[in-house]
């Protein structure tokens, strides 16, 4: 699918990888973007940078059907359609199975991570797919694309990541059934499992901590660049033969236990 003038909904679009992808889509691909995020100040600043003709911000809670429904309506009201959806919103809340005293972790804490990182992805994907299915098909019968963001932790989660890793493995697990079901509507579904990227949150860590993480990268020995992630999102949207697959974007990194 050619991204020129297409409308891309990006959750977590006001910060980190989501914001970098929004910038890339507008500046490099000529797309228009809808930023779904909780951070109103950051969202407004991003729209101001990209321009009102190219971007809209919707303050949203991905776990709320009402919130996403209202945001979808706002996007359709401004841009008239949705052609792609990138689900980058997530929380890395640590959750050990047993605490320092050997007591079982709170189920509420575990459920919070699953609700945002997995249920939230399903919620936005489903509501965007409903709109994408209304688009006229192109010459190949395609109406749109969904890209869900997983994590390398889905494969090699560290200690304390049982909730986070479980949620991201769930994102990968949705890939094939979603691709099979939505094929009838001309919608492709893929996911990206990113490794270590130089987001503001990661770069705020102590230099020794950053270096210890970089040491786990096989090659190249560095953090991923934000545009490398955004480029991969664009590739999955543009390449019409990519469907139902997970791309590990991680420099062959295998995370250690801690």
Which sequence positions are flagged as catalytic? 164
Q: Which residues contact 203 (CB under 8 A, 6 or more apart)?
A: 210
Quote the Cα angle for 175-109-85, to 5°: 30
- What does the alpha-carbon distance between residue 173 and residue 121 come to, in Å, rounded to a whole number? 12
- What does the alpha-carbon distance between residue 88 and residue 147 come to, in Å, rounded to a whole number? 9
Phi-psi region of 54 (alpha: psi -120 to 50; beta: other; left: phi over 0): alpha
Question: Cβ distance 86 to 18 under 8 Å?
Answer: yes
Question: Cβ distance 232 to 242 under 8 Å?
Answer: no
Kind plus residue range of the DSSP H or E element containing 211? helix 207-214
Q: Which residues contact 190 (CB under 8 A, 6 or more apart)?
A: 145, 146, 147, 148, 175, 179, 236, 242, 243, 244, 245, 246, 247
Main-chain phi, psi angles of 241, to 5 degrees:
-100, 0
- What does the alpha-carbon distance between residue 6 and residue 25 come to, in Å, rounded to a whole number? 9
Kind plus residue range of the DSSP H or E element containing 101? none
Q: How far is CA 71 from the centre of its chain?
A: 17
């Amino acid at each position: 699918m050619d991204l020129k003038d297409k409308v891309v909904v990006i959750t977590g679009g006001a910060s980190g990888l989501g914001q970098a992808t929004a910038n890339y889509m507008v500046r490099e691909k000529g797309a228009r973007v809808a930023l779904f995020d909780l951070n109103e100040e950051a969202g407004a600043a991003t729209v101001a940078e990209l321009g009102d003709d190219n971007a809209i911000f919707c303050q949203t809670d991905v776990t709320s059907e009402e919130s996403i429904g209202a945001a979808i309506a706002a996007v359709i009201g401004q841009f008239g359609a949705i052609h792609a959806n990138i689900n980058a919103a997530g929380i890395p809340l640590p959750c050990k199975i047993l605490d320092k005293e050997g007591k079982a972790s709170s189920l509420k804490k575990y459920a919070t991570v699953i609700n945002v990182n997995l249920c939230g992805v399903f919620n936005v994907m489903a509501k965007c797919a409903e709109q994408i299915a209304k688009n006229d098909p192109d010459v190949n019968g395609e109406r749109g694309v969904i890209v869900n963001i997983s994590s390398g932790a889905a494969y090699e989660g560290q200690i304390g990541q049982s909730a986070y890793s479980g949620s991201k493995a769930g994102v990968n697990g949705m890939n094939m059934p979603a691709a099979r079901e939505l094929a009838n509507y001309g919608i492709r579904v893929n996911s990206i499992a990113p490794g270590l990227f130089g987001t503001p949150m990661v770069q705020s860590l102590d230099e020794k901590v950053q270096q210890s993480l970089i040491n786990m990268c096989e090659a190249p020995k560095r953090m991923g660049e934000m545009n490398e992630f955004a480029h991969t999102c664009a590739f999955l949207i543009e390449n019409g033969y990519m469907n139902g697959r997970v791309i590990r974007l991680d420099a062959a990194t295998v995370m250690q236990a801690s």
